[in-house]
């Protein structure tokens, strides 16, 4: 039995008694090293044996590699090599998502920046691939563009793609830069997909004559049959780099990297209708920005649920890294807490949100910091068992978040003692 399996058995055995005590202290342990700019990890639904690691690209090819979770070894053959990747500044191969019915249809989706006529502008695209007859190798010839759009600048690509509980594909997009969104794209709902969250149905094609649009418009998208691009689900975002759906209830967490003053964590309750305007660039955080473009404190704006400043406060930094609501079993006591980080200050946190208030804000920096210095973790990740990971891009390492060793030893001792008592 490897270390993870041992932890899992002990945790499962000890769940009831330990849930009566304080939440377990946390730590990180490396599960994959010597990677080339890893930016994301995920697993196919229900597949607890494999973790897929997205390497952003350090040249013009991005890679998806597979970690065997039973042995913590990277498979020798890449799952997929993505050619023609533009990794200039903030671009690259930035994330992937498995179709909810991946087990039967083999489809998965990548989001990346591609070369077009040069480095700028680039084309940001969602492309569908299919697995080959070998479950550990994708069919490199199976690429089909789902959607593509011009990204005019090197900044603010966002970079996460995922499926919601409704089965639709969600794509947060950045405002396209340059700084401050001078063209006010995020507040413009016609003829620009920048600064938005797009939502499309990949199980069909409303655009038979267009090979670069292969999706259906969900009929309840907010701008169907009215002014505004039909693909838009939400808008008013700057650079929503990392987002997630709560795997237990479908709440949507949108972490939006800020401009010069405020970082944001935004929250869409599961089932809320589309059309929400998160305020950028009229607002930055809960404050009026100096950039105009709308009515400050417009009551239709949806404010973030959590903000922090670039200069002072309990959290300080200028690149929020959105994470996940924890729904796994290893980290006893943390179920339901939203984990996130701050890249520039290399700090890590969790909080709970009851729909009105933030509670149990916790600083995990001492437990989760991979190493001193800024820009350690660029992303969190979640596997099929809802366990969490931290990705250190420049360090080339993926870490699993685990119970702190002393806490684990205490759990082992507790289980042993319980068994002695049971024998008496
Ligand atoms: Ca089409
Ligand atoms: Ca419309």
Ligand closest to 191 (CA) is 2
- The answer for residues whose C-beta is within 8 angstroms of residue 292's C-beta and 6 or more apart is 282
Q: Is the peptide bond before 121 cis (omega within 30 degrees of 0)?
A: yes
Q: Out of 29-43, 55-69, 101-115, 406-420, which region has the weakest mean confidence (pLDDT)? A: 406-420
Q: How far is the CA of 201 from the centre of ligand 2 (A)?
A: 16
For the chain, what is the mean pLDDT?
A: 92
Whether residue 237 is predicted with pLDDT greater than 60 in this model: the reply is yes
pLDDT band at 422 (very low <50, low <70, confident <90, very high): low
Report the C-alpha gap between 2 and 72 in whole angstroms: 9
Sign of CA dihedral 189, 191, 196, 198: positive
Q: How far is the CA of 201 from the centre of ligand 1 (A)?
A: 12
pLDDT band at 424 (very low <50, low <70, confident <90, very high): low
pLDDT digits (tens, 9 = 90+) for 217-229: 999 999 999 999 9
Q: How far is the CA of 210 from the centre of ligand 1 (A)?
A: 4
Report the C-alpha gap between 287 and 262 in whole angstroms: 8
Q: What is the pLDDT of residue 161?
A: 98
Q: How far is the CA of 171 from the centre of ligand 1 (A)?
A: 18
Q: Are 380 and 51 in contact (CB under 8 A)?
A: no
Q: Are 95 and 110 in contact (CB under 8 A)?
A: yes
Whether residue 88 is predicted with pLDDT greater than 90 in this model: the reply is no
Q: How far is the CA of 277 from the centre of ligand 2 (A)?
A: 16
Whether residue 52 is predicted with pLDDT greater than 90 in this model: the reply is yes
The environment of the single-atom ion ligand 1, i.e. residues with CB closer than 5 A, is 205, 207, 210, 213-214
Whether residue 269 is predicted with pLDDT greater than 90 in this model: the reply is yes
Q: What is the pLDDT of residue 6?
A: 38
User: Model's pTM, two decimal places?
Assistant: 0.92
Helix (H, G, I), strand (E, B) or coil at 97: strand
| Number of H-type helices and E-type strands within the chain | 4, 28
Whether residue 349 is predicted with pLDDT greater than 50 in this model: the reply is yes
**321-325-327-331 Cα dihedral, nearest 10 degrees:** 60
Q: How far is the CA of 223 from the centre of ligand 2 (A)?
A: 4
Whether residue 172 is predicted with pLDDT greater than 60 in this model: the reply is yes
Report the C-alpha gap between 185 and 179 in whole angstroms: 12
Q: What is the pLDDT of residue 4?
A: 41
Q: Are 23 and 341 in contact (CB under 8 A)?
A: no
Single out the residue of 163, 44, 54, 144 nearest to residue 104, CA to CA.
44
Question: 28-403: which CATH architecture?
Answer: 6 Propeller (2.120)
Ligand closest to 214 (CA) is 1
Q: What is the pLDDT of residue 117?
A: 58
pLDDT digits (tens, 9 = 90+) for 394-421: 999 999 999 998 777 776 777 677 666 5
Helices 405-423 and 3-18 cross at an angle (nearest 10°) of 70
Whether residue 24 is predicted with pLDDT greater than 50 in this model: the reply is yes
DSSP per-residue letters across 15-47: HHHHTTSSPPPEEEEEEE-S-SSEEEEE--TT-
How long, in residues, is the chain? 424
Q: How far is the CA of 157 from the centre of ligand 1 (A)?
A: 24
Spans of all domains in the chain? 1-25+404-424, 28-403
Q: How far is the CA of 226 from the centre of ligand 2 (A)?
A: 4
Q: How far is the CA of 246 from the centre of ligand 2 (A)?
A: 29
DSSP per-residue letters across 287-322: EE-TT-SS-TT-TTB---SEEEESSSSSS--S-EE-
Q: How far is the CA of 90 from the centre of ligand 2 (A)?
A: 30
Ligand closest to 229 (CA) is 2
Q: How far is the CA of 188 from the centre of ligand 2 (A)?
A: 13
- The answer for residues whose C-beta is within 8 angstroms of residue 422's C-beta and 6 or more apart is none
The environment of the single-atom ion ligand 2, i.e. residues with CB closer than 5 A, is 223, 228, 230
Q: How far is the CA of 250 from the centre of ligand 1 (A)?
A: 29
Ligand closest to 223 (CA) is 2
Instruction: Mark 187-224 as b/e (b = at least 16 C-beta within 10 Å).
Output: bbbeebbbbbbbbbbbeebeeeeeeebbbebbeebbbe
Q: What is the pLDDT of residue 17?
A: 37
Q: How far is the CA of 213 from the centre of ligand 1 (A)?
A: 5
Q: What is the pLDDT of residue 413?
A: 75
Ligand closest to 146 (CA) is 1
pLDDT digits (tens, 9 = 90+) for 276-332: 999 999 999 999 999 999 999 999 999 999 999 999 899 999 999 999 999 999 999
Rounded (5°) CA angle 204-209-213: 50
Q: How far is the CA of 204 from the centre of ligand 1 (A)?
A: 9
Q: What is the pLDDT of residue 22?
A: 79
Ligand closest to 189 (CA) is 2
E-only strand ranges, 43-106 = 50-55, 62-68, 73-74, 80-82, 93-98
Q: How far is the CA of 190 from the centre of ligand 2 (A)?
A: 8
pLDDT band at 389 (very low <50, low <70, confident <90, very high): very high
Average the pLDDT over 233-246 and give the result: 98
- Computed over its alpha carbons, how large is the radius of gyration of the chain? 21
Ligand closest to 227 (CA) is 2
Q: Are 15 and 323 in contact (CB under 8 A)?
A: no
Q: How far is the CA of 180 from the centre of ligand 2 (A)?
A: 26
Ligand closest to 190 (CA) is 2
Q: How far is the CA of 189 from the centre of ligand 2 (A)?
A: 9
Report the C-alpha gap between 218 and 379 in whole angstroms: 29
């Amino acid at each position: 039995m490897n270390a993870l399996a041992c932890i899992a058995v002990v945790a499962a055995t000890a769940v009831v008694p330990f849930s009566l005590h304080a939440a377990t202290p946390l730590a990180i342990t490396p599960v994959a090293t010597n990677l080339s700019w890893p930016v994301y990890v995920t697993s196919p639904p229900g597949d607890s044996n494999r973790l897929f690691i997205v390497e952003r690209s350090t040249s013009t090819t991005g890679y998806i590699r597979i970690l065997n979770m039973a042995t913590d070894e990277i498979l020798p053959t890449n799952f997929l090599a993505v050619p023609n990747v533009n990794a200039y500044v903030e671009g690259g191969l930035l994330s992937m998502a498995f179709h909810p019915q991946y087990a039967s249809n083999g489809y998965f989706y990548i989001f990346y920046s591609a070369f077009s006529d040069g480095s700028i502008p680039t084309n940001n695209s969602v492309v569908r691939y299919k697995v080959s007859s070998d479950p550990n190798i994708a069919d490199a010839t199976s690429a089909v563009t789902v959607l593509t759009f011009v990204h005019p600048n090197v900044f603010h690509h966002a970079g996460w793609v995922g499926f919601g509980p409704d089965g639709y594909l969600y794509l947060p997009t950045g405002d396209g830069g340059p700084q401050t969104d001078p063209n006010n794209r995020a507040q413009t709902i016609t003829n620009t997909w920048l600064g938005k969250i797009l939502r499309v149905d990949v199980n069909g094609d409303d655009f038979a004559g267009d090979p670069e649009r292969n999706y259906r418009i969900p009929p309840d998208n907010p701008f169907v049959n009215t002014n505004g691009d039909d693909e838009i689900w939400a808008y008013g975002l700057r650079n929503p780099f990392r987002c997630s759906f709560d795997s237990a209830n479908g709440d949507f967490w949108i972490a939006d990297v800020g401009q010069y003053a405020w970082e944001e964590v935004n929250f869409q309750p599961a089932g809320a209708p589309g059309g929400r305007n998160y305020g950028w660039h009229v607002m930055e955080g809960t404050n009026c920005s100096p950039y105009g473009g709308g009515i400050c404190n417009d009551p239709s704006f949806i404010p973030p649920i959590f903000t922090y400043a670039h200069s002072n406060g309990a959290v300080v930094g200028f690149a929020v890294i959105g994470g996940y609501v924890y729904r796994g079993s290893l980290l006893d006591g943390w179920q339901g807490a939203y984990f996130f980080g701050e890249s520039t200050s290399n700090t890590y946190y969790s909080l709970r949100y009851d729909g009105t208030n933030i509670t149990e804000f916790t600083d995990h920096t001492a437990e989760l910091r991979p190493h001193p210095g800024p820009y350690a973790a660029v992303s969190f990740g979640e596997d099929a068992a809802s366990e969490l990971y931290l990705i250190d891009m420049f360090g080339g390492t993926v870490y699993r978040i685990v119970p702190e060793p002393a806490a684990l030893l205490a759990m082992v001792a507790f289980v042993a003692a319980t068994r002695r008592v049971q024998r008496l």
